[in-house]
Amino acid sequence: MTPKHPANSPATPLQDSGSGPAQAPAKNVAQNVAQSTAAPRGAAENARLSTLADDLVRLAKTAGADYADVYAYSSTALSTAVRLGEQDYFEREEDTGLGLRVFIGKSSACLSSSDIRLQALKDLADKAVTMARHVPADEFAILPERGLAADAIPALNLTDPAGEPDAQSLIALALAVENAGRAVDGITNSEGAEAEWSSSTVVLCASNGFQGAYRKDYCSASLSLIAGEGTGMERDYAYDGCTRMSDMDKAAEIGQRAADRTLARMNPRRGKTGRFPVIYDRRVSSSLVGHLLGAINGARIVRGTSFLNDSLGKQIFTPHITIHDDAGLDYMPKSRPFDSEGQAITPLTLVESGVLNHWIMDLRSAARLAMPNNGHASRGLASQPSPSAANVWLENGEAALADIIADIKDGFYITELIGSSISTTSGDYSRGASGFWIENGKIAYPVSELTIAGNLRDIYASLIPADDLRRRYGTDAPSLFVPALTVASPTQ
């Protein structure tokens, strides 16, 4: 079926229309999150989870924990798929889980359970405390201070006021997307369309007195199409996702985009081998930002396994590059009002005019590096906190994508990346890629099964952004130009 949550989608027949908000909406701290972002059902779920989390913290303390916190999560997810005008499936899933972390001195243990009966919670607390008593102490373990007071937790708009869609609305959306794509001349088949909606509630409760909750919604639609017959078939897809269904691209736009992309790939020709200028379309450009986020993760810096270990405060990009991280944005998918240790999340300019300014840190990595924590802890139900970025975007450049293409005599325009061989330790970079060959300043013909290779240090040091940023998916970038990268064709 269609890919889940691909990177960005883009304008040419290769790009999207750019409809929908080009920038994230402004912050709104005027309302309390439990009131403004949760319908009555959401408020009740906040209260239910908060009570469970508080009970489990008390049980852990009774069992002998010096400190305990509970990360509680519940979700409702609807999903449907259609193919060739027929419904394939409709599913509804509901899930609740509790993740308990306890400390005995500087030794800690994490356990999780989906069984919320009282006896099961008592057993979970006893097991966690027993495990912690047998775990070696971690000298850098940090017991969180209280963190944010309840009245200091920012109120973020992270839900859809329209609430949960009914099944028929979601099925109708998937059908409309597929019908729009299949109606385009030249499309011969469909791999299907999907539509999804989810709502999740997160509660963090700790024995230091912290208690916070928030709720997030997300909806999406995608379509994968086929053009051609037999060995001449080509496929491509389109996707959109956001918090509010009213902000999603229209079904006809998603379907048309999928069809345009698929038809543009027809009759691919042989690529070239050598050093060429390369453009990363914004469908894939955010992957370069993702590699950066992995390299500046505090846990990796502590281990000394990043190719950027010695780069803080140094110029690693061209002066054209500025990259931000902010968890406090309304209606963005990676927003959250506090991190998983109950700390305030500091907005960061990770890179400013090419200079690397920050590591992404939680309490432990900040302690190991003897630096201030910037509140980027994230965790799963049964895992210790670890550093994780929030909403990240690379700022627009000054050049239009069309102008960058026009200046290339012979080069590669990448619209899809396949697989990877990337070393975050050395920065060595190699990926499969497909897209279009550029000749004399114009998109000339589609190419596929090429390999691109280089080193991320060199790529970053020469990177030029276009001006087509669309902030939507949580890690976003405009199309990015690399003046020279090794390109290899399997036919040469």
pLDDT digits (tens, 9 = 90+) for 296-341: 999 999 999 999 999 999 999 999 999 999 999 999 999 999 999 9
Query: What are the percentages of helix, strand and coil residues in the chain, rounded to 5?
Result: 25, 35, 40
What does the pLDDT read at residue 15?
55
What does the pLDDT read at residue 103?
96
Compute the C-alpha angle 483/260/172, nearest 5°.
130
Q: Does pLDDT of 3 surpass 50?
A: no
Q: Is 465 in contact with 443 (CB distance < 8 Å)?
A: no
Phi and psi, residue 126, nearest 5°: -60, -45
Amino acid code (one letter) for 313: G
Q: Does pLDDT of 14 surpass 70?
A: no
Domain ranges, ordered by start, for the chain: 33-263, 268-492
Q: Does pLDDT of 457 surpass 80?
A: yes
The structure tokens 């050093």 sit at 275
- Give the chain's mean pLDDT: 90
Question: Judging by beta carbons within 10 Å of its beta carbon (0-12, 13-18, 19+), is residue 488 exposed, middle or buried?
Answer: middle
Q: Compute CA distances 24 → 242, 246, 328, 470, 472, whole Å.
A: 11, 15, 10, 9, 7
Count CB atoms within 10 A of the CB of residue 475. 23
CA nearest 128: which of 159, 89, 99, 168? 99
According to DSSP, the β-strands at 234-242 and 377-378 are unpaired
* Range in 8-17, 19-28, 240-249 with the lowest mean pLDDT: 19-28
The structure tokens 């319908």 sit at 39
Name, in order, each residue with C-beta under 8 angstroms of 151's C-beta and a sequence gap of 6 or more: none
Residue 139's pLDDT band (cuts 50, 70, 90): confident
Average pLDDT, stretch 224-240?
Answer: 95
Q: Rounded distance, CA 324 to CA 6, Å?
A: 20
Residue 12's pLDDT band (cuts 50, 70, 90): very low
Average pLDDT, stretch 82-111?
Answer: 96
According to DSSP, the β-strands at 234-242 and 211-227 are antiparallel
CATH code that applies to domain 33-263: 3.30.2290.10
Which of helix, strand or coil describes residue 49? Answer: helix
